[in-house]
Amino acid sequence: MFKKFSEFLFQKKDLFNHIKNAGLYFLGSIVQSILALIAQPIYSLHLSADEFGILGYFDAIKSTLVPIFIFGMSSFFLMRYFKQGEEANKKLLFNITFYLCCFNTITLLISYVGIYLYFDYMNVKIPLNPFAWFILIALLLENIKSFVLINYRIRKKALAFFIFSAANSLLNFGLGILFVAYFEWGAEGRLGAPLVSSILLVPVSIYILNNYSTINFDIKVFLNGMKVALPLVLAAYAYVPIETVDRFFLERLNDLSEFGLYNIGVTIAGYVLLAYVALGAAVEPDIFKAVAEKNSKKLIKSGLIIFIPYLIFVLIFMFFSHLIIAILTAGRYVAAAEYTNIMLIAVFLMGVYWFLDRILIALEKTKMNLIINIIGGTSSIVITYIAVDIFDFAGAAYAKVIVALVLSITALLLVIKNLKLEKVLT
């Protein structure tokens, strides 16, 4: 009797810890969301639709470069973490962060040359500088911050995760408002704020990582990580068109004002995505653990923890979208609501895909990830090209919904197949 009671209390304590951690992860996202919601009307008063178009375009370029700068190393760290001891994990953390910074310094210079040549060849009317340098240097520095958060999350240090995440959000918010509203630096100020924030937080990040790492300059470890993660990088680049191809096609329409409205719609839909990011961040280590333990019930439970509150949140946002966007854009860009409502459907479906994708990565089926993204990336290029050609900006938004549905169904079928195979082999 006492044993059963003790087991019951242990299970309840475990559940309480999950809820507490999820709450802190979600609170960090809430802080970021609240600050973004406060900033959006201010930015809308001080930025033109054309400037929102510029911001959206360089966001697409940044998203295109993210995979090569990360190089799948965060996933490689997660793959190894639960399979080795504490000292090995400390050495791996140092090794990855050090060599990734070296690798990315070279990548930054090559990337700038590539962007310059693309702008020249495609005769892009949007100015290249200083925006290209802003996003490239920010990408280099943001990797260091990201490993602080990954380390906190995997060690279940939810309070430390929240404090660091909130500090980053507050810096971005404060500097963004200062540069855009006070100094009136426009799009340059808006893109420059995250860069300055990263520069300020890098020394703190290095200090924190030093407490959880042990010096290890063995380059073979990093090269092995690159080899293991290479399919993830290729899969990420197969995925890139899903994320960015709409804006590259839309830029060719030469309607920067409408492009700005479209990007406002995408941005506001992205605020809803923060809810998924928070819930997913709380559960992600449990996904890897459940897969390692071959616990299908725990995977289903993790999915329910994420998607029940997420669906409710999305539906509420859609119902009040016109009012919300009127408030968020100070009444200047209410027309963006059309794009936001369409994008919210795509955002929810992509959340389903990302959850299933983590399961495949946990199973170390990285080639499956590549196959799914090749299907999604190819279909995204074809569908978006046709949709933009016929329906312009609205077509691009609907294309994202169709592609998200294709990805979710494909990933679900592969997850079911591979989980069944794992059970047969054991």
Q: pLDDT at position 415, please? A: 85
Q: What is the spatial distance between Cα 223 and Cα 225, in angstroms, rounded to a whole number?
A: 5
Write the pLDDT tens digit of every residue in 14-44: 556 666 666 677 677 778 878 888 998 999 9
* 375: in domain: yes
Question: Are 58 and 132 spatial neighbours (Cβ–Cβ below 8 Å)?
Answer: yes
Q: pLDDT at position 200, please? A: 94
Q: pLDDT at position 309, please? A: 83
- Ranges under pLDDT 50 in the chain: 2, 5-6, 8-10, 424-425
* 6: in domain: no
Q: What is the mean pLDDT of the chain?
A: 86
* 2: in domain: no
Q: Helix count (H) and strand count (E) of the chain?
A: 13, 0
Tell me the chain's radius of gyration from C-alpha atoms. Answer: 22
- The phi and psi torsions of 236 (rounded to 5 degrees) equal -65, -40
Tell which residue, 113, 111, 109, 135, has the closest CA to residue 54.
Answer: 135
Domain range holding 420? 12-425
* 1: in domain: no
* 322: in domain: yes
Task: Supply the pTM of this predicted model.
Answer: 0.80
* 7: in domain: no
* 4: in domain: no
Distance (Å) of CA 381 to CA 234, 238, 247, 282, 385: 17, 11, 11, 33, 6
* 384: in domain: yes
Q: What is the spatial distance between Cα 41 and Cα 175, in angstroms, rounded to a whole number?
A: 16
Q: pLDDT at position 17, please? A: 64
- Count of structural domains within the chain: 1
Write the pLDDT tens digit of every residue in 140-151: 998 888 889 888
Q: What is the spatial distance between Cα 94 and Cα 216, in angstroms, rounded to a whole number?
A: 6
